[in-house]
Amino acid sequence: MAFSFEEGELLLIDKPIEWTSFDAVNFIRSFLKHCFKLKKLKVGHAGTLDPLATGLLLVCTGKKTKTIQDLQNMDKTYTGTMLLGQTTPSFDLESEPDGYFSTENITFEELETARTKFIGAIEQIPPIYSAIKIDGKRAFLYARKNQDVNMIARKITIYDFELTAINIPVIEFKVSCSKGTYIRSLVNDFGAALNNGACLTSLRRTHIGAYSVEDSFTIDKFRELVLHELNP
């Protein structure tokens, strides 16, 4: 496999858990600059994944970075798990629980009714623990100082929201959605629609447009391929 990183490559990377998207970009940039003895190299990603999420990250190098906006606009698909009966400020496991609810009386009919409320064009309030800028500062910086922030609702589209396995309080799901969708917010809102609570416990991005995580490289595999190209 021949790469041309300065001319431009679109890399399909399977982001590992606990790495930020910028960790992946910074690693790839530093690694390639070192391998090919480059003074500088443009590298960027098309669509952030939270540190606790895994899966498809599109990383562009060289002239391919000009396509990042188009890639970001593509629809996305995720699989994941949620825990009913518990809420957290970050809507996932990055923060400690701040609310507990009994899940004993939740019925399958109630789950189905709540699920259908979120299919189609909806307005969604992003989590305060996010990188959205408010008055020039990232929202999570306000959240860490317990400062109140007015998060503005965004119009998004949920094309499909499927509960793939139900074993209350744990639910597995699959979501296909438009750009700008926060799955953490979807899970939190789903819990509220049940008059209960829910937080995201795992998330994996499987598709961005026609690109699939099935065709992606792990960081280690990518590193191995590049080194093999240099030393066949």
How much is the pLDDT for 1? 60
How much is the pLDDT for 145? 75
Known catalytic residues are 50
Q: Would you list the domain boundaries of the chain?
A: 10-72+211-230, 76-208
Mean pLDDT to the nearest integer, 114-143:
86
Q: Specify the range with the lowest mean pLDDT, choosing from 21-35, 87-101, 121-135.
A: 121-135
| 76-208 shares the fold of 10-72+211-230 | yes
The three-state secondary structure class of 71 is: helix
Residue 39 pLDDT > 90, yes or no? yes
The C-alpha torsion from 221 through 224 and 230 to 232, rounded to 10°, is: -110
Tokens of 31: 């690694």
The Cα 182–Cα 166 span in angstroms is 22
pLDDT, one tens digit per residue, over 62-94 is 999 999 999 999 999 999 999 999 999 999 999
With residue 203 as reference, give the H or E element that holds it: strand 198-208
The C-alpha torsion from 107 through 109 and 115 to 116, rounded to 10°, is: -160
Mean pLDDT to the nearest integer, 140-157:
83
CATH fold group of domain 76-208: Pseudouridine synthase (3.30.2350)
pLDDT, one tens digit per residue, over 164-221 is 999 999 999 999 999 999 999 999 999 999 999 999 999 999 999 999 999 999 999 9
Kindly state the percentage of the chain with pLDDT values over 90.
84
* Domain 10-72+211-230 bears CATH identifier 3.30.2350.10: yes
